Structure 1
């Protein structure tokens, strides 16, 4: 995803029409606090999303 109509920053709620993806086990091993969260890619950035609220929890720059 490269052209988005929302601000890519913590606390922003993204549209529910965006498809979320489960985090890979390797990420959960490194950051157990992300368990239960999902992600999207925006450009090269990994954007961690709370699937209950669709709010951005973290942005990991490429």
Structure 2
């Protein structure tokens, strides 16, 4: 019984260390820099569509 508890504690410490390392990696890569921007992205204006001739014939040369 005691060995299972010790093994579970060690396993949970390894898991917590892994989660902490992934969190630190995400912070260093800038994943949490701008958490508010994605919800406003749908309000941005879209780029205008190219003319139909360009779609049918390809880009002008």
Alignment TM-score, normalising by the size of structure 1: 0.19
Structure possessing the higher relative contact order (Cα contacts under 8 Å, 6 or more residues apart): 1
Q: If each structure's helix is expressed as a fraction of its own residues, which one has the higher value?
A: 2
Greater Rg by CA: 2
Q: If each structure's strand is expressed as a fraction of its own residues, which one has the higher value?
A: 1
